[in-house]
Structure 1
């Protein structure tokens, strides 16, 4: 997910804690989306400036904490290996994005008010510093 311009802040970021050691957030979901788009874990990791090992560790963690495989790996061969999301992995992405959208909608009024309060505070600080 690309960073929003500073004027759009504050914004909501959703993290779902599944157990004390396992959580799903925007980074893991972006990795799954990149795997779906790129067709491989290594290419998805490169797209996020992370090593294959880090990308694989995140996929492995997702599989462990969810109790389902989110990614199906194909071993290398004549045309090389690859990876694709399992039906569970695709559902995980869709559910996360739906939760994220619902949370953003629910928080929109308060985030807008917070943004206005911050803008007022910054203007006041600029006047005091000038």
Structure 2
């Protein structure tokens, strides 16, 4: 079935899409940037760059790191980070519901074999 991928773009050009939302969710469940990156098959540096871009895009950071200590460091979503994921997922869900009939209609005309992406 045809599907939508939602990318939100702020006036300043900052973006949040399915990958960044999934990274935030993975950090929320694992409590660690490195564990979240591993779970997603992503290297730590890439994960850190994505998080840095998110934290720089808003006046409030989405993720904060805890360094060192007895059990090592970790990372947690801020209250805003939790809100950001929730709002993104809600927008994604609402867009899918609004587009369902059109996606179904277009899918009926889609070829069944895989073609090159443009």
- TM-score after normalising by structure 1: 0.82
C-alpha distance in structure 2 between counterparts of 1:51 and 1:21, whole Å: 25
Q: Unpaired runs of 5+ in structure 1?
A: 1-7, 124-130
C-alpha distance in structure 1 between counterparts of 2:82 and 2:112, whole Å: 42
C-alpha distance in structure 2 between counterparts of 1:15 and 1:110, whole Å: 19
May I ask how many residue pairs the two structures share in their alignment?
Answer: 113
Runs (4+) off by over 4 Å: none
Q: Which has the higher contact order (CA 8 A, sep 6+)?
A: 2
C-alpha distance in structure 2 between counterparts of 1:58 and 1:94, whole Å: 18
- Residue 11 (structure 2) aligned to one of 14, 19, 30: 19
Larger radius of gyration: 1
Say whether 1:116 aligns with 2:103: no
- Root-mean-square deviation (CA), in Å? 1.4
